[in-house]
Amino acid sequence: MDHFEYRDGVLYGEEVPLLRVADEVGTPCYVYSKATLARHFRAYTEALGSHPHLICYAVKANSNLAVLGLLARLGAGFDIVSVGELERVLAAGGNPAKVVFSGVAKQQAEMVRALEVGIKCFNVESRPELERLNAVAGQLGKVAPVSLRVNPDVDAGTHPYISTGLKDNKFGIPVEEALAVYELAAGLPHLEVVGLDCHIGSQLTELAPFLDALDRLLVLLDKLKAQGIEVEHLDLGGGLGVPYRDERPPAPFDYAASLLERLAQWPGGEQLTLLFEPGRSIAANAGVLLTRVEFLKPGETKNFAIVDAGMNDLIRPALYQAWQAIIPVDARRPRDAATYDVVGPVCETGDFLGKDRELAIAEGDLLAVRSAGAYGFVMASNYNSRPRPAEVMVDGERLHVVRQREPLEALWAGESLLPDKPPAAN
Ligand code: LLP
């Protein structure tokens, strides 16, 4: 459930008509709903109830400071993949002791910063990374808390670009090698094994792959126990899907309930802290992208609705052939319906937000692209020298601009012309 709905034919975000957002902030513009973000976060914490847990929101999904700050106040931890994300979490008031650090290529300087601020855990993805982390922690006179990201070789049944738990993906340590790598970790002086981690993919719409992964991890935990290696937490990553169109992904409650049931059968399961790293299921349906129709261009084989948002603002349709609902913001005005490809201003044939959409629209109308709160703004670029859109958070009747539209000068800030004369040869 989200807080974007029609009232008398006008689309609202909470108590704010989106027409007002467009008037005050312009388009294209991302609009997030605070109540929806909070609701989606609480769905996880309530589902886990009294079982020890920490919900580490995946910052990559939507890293706006206002989003992070809101989740931090609700008690969230954070899953980060770069020092940039770490600094964002700190700037938003997040607690570093609730941060887990994922990613296959953690650099030395990133490890140093994460150790300095005292993060909860490094999710280590390879043997060389383990050795690098041990060396960095040793130089700082610290002990790094680690969890190994194990690749359980489970088919998540999702788009190949966002499937991460198969043998031929770059992520994690193959489950067959994990025991040996854990033994290596346990023997390194500047590391402390605290957890076990996996993340098998994104936009999963079935429970089975999650449960298969859990089963494989529990087998591994038994083997670790037999070697005297005990962990405090089990991190099952993110990946729970959302309804974009007619998908029916499990609700966090059902997801958590089936995992807890499986865990209860495992000796010691009640004490094992569960970590989750949800991104999309918290943020996607808490946001829309507002865009205005510039021109309607009827054609022999296709009609185009050319809008002011393009693939540089929202790349999911172009990159993953993702389907996101596109709906009018003001459905009160009489319009003739037609089928359109909704395309952006970027000079690429792949620049579309949706294809073959039945819409009753005219030039100048506002459209909302739904489910755009996750992997929307964060994946925006300046391609075609287009400033990135503004971001707004609605909260009841209030509207906060949580990121200004990028000014044109920002496009070339940090660039420089070549000197007039070449430097003298020596
Ligand atoms: N943890 C790790 C280690 C991850 O790699 C990811 C996402 C998450 C958590 C969060 O997964 P979520 O709950 O959001 O599914 N840009 C793509 C999605 C890429 C996901 C990458 N990893 C898209 O727009 O569909």
Q: Does residue 277 have a known ligand-binding role? A: yes
Residue 77 is predicted with a pLDDT of 98
Check if 22 has its Cβ closer than 6 Å to any atom of ligand 1. Answer: no
Determine the average pLDDT of the residues in 226-244: 97
What rounded mean pLDDT belongs to the chain?
A: 95
Residue 162 is predicted with a pLDDT of 59
- Tell me: the pLDDT tens digits for 363-382? 999 999 999 999 999 999 99
CA gyration radius for the chain?
23
Residue 422 is predicted with a pLDDT of 72
Quick one: 13 exposed, middle or buried, by C-beta within 10 A (0-12, 13-18, 19+)? buried
Q: Does residue 248 have a known ligand-binding role? A: no
On the question of pLDDT at 425 being above 90, the answer is no
H/E stretch holding 42 reads: helix 34-48
Closest by CA position to 281, among listed 37, 32, 25, 33: 37
Q: Of 80, 166, 202, 255, which is best to mutate to test ligand 1, by the most ligand atoms within 8 angstroms of its C-beta?
A: 202
- Domain spans of the chain? 4-31+284-411, 103-276
Determine the average pLDDT of the residues in 400-408: 98
On the question of pLDDT at 173 being above 70, the answer is yes
Contact present, 297 and 14 (Cβ < 8 Å): no
Residues 6+ apart with CB under 8 A from 83: 107, 109, 110, 113, 114
Listing DSSP states for 278-329 in one string gives: -SHHHHGGGEEEEEEEEEEE--SS--EEEES--TTT--HHHHH-----EEES
Q: Does residue 375 have a known ligand-binding role? A: yes
On the question of pLDDT at 138 being above 80, the answer is yes
Q: How confident is the model at residue 166 (pLDDT cuts 50, 70, 90)?
A: low
Nearest alpha carbon, ligand 1 atom 22: 202
| Bridge partners, residue 234, by sequence | 196, 274
Residue 1 is predicted with a pLDDT of 84
- Which is it for the CA torsion 253, 258, 262, 265, positive or negative? positive
Residues 6+ apart with CB under 8 A from 351: 310, 311, 318, 343, 344, 345
Nearest alpha carbon, ligand 1 atom 8: 238
Contact present, 24 and 32 (Cβ < 8 Å): no
- Tell me: the pLDDT tens digits for 32-66? 999 999 999 999 999 999 999 999 999 999 999 99
Check if 344 has its Cβ closer than 6 Å to any atom of ligand 1. Answer: no
CATH 3.20.20.10 fits 103-276, yes or no: yes
Q: How confident is the model at residue 148 (pLDDT cuts 50, 70, 90)?
A: very high
Give yes or no: 347 in active site. Answer: yes
Nearest alpha carbon, ligand 1 atom 23: 375
Q: Which CATH number fits domain 4-31+284-411: 2.40.37.10, 3.60.150.10, 3.50.50.60, 3.40.50.720?
A: 2.40.37.10
- Tell me: the pLDDT tens digits for 256-276? 999 999 999 999 899 999 999
Q: Does residue 239 have a known ligand-binding role? A: yes
Determine the average pLDDT of the residues in 162-175: 75
């770490």: which residue's tokens? 86
Predicted TM-score (pTM) of the model is 0.96
Residue 195 is predicted with a pLDDT of 98
Check if 235 has its Cβ closer than 6 Å to any atom of ligand 1. Answer: no
Ligand 1 atom closest to residue 159's alpha carbon, by position in its atom list: 25
Determine the average pLDDT of the residues in 153-173: 72
Q: How many C-beta atoms lie closer than 10 Å to residue 420's C-beta? A: 5
On the question of pLDDT at 231 being above 70, the answer is yes
Closest by CA position to 124, among listed 190, 64, 209: 190
Q: How confident is the model at residue 420 (pLDDT cuts 50, 70, 90)?
A: confident
- Tell me: the pLDDT tens digits for 63-122? 999 999 999 999 999 999 999 999 999 999 999 999 999 999 999 999 999 999 999 999
Question: What is the CA(61)–ligand 1 centre distance, in A?
Answer: 7
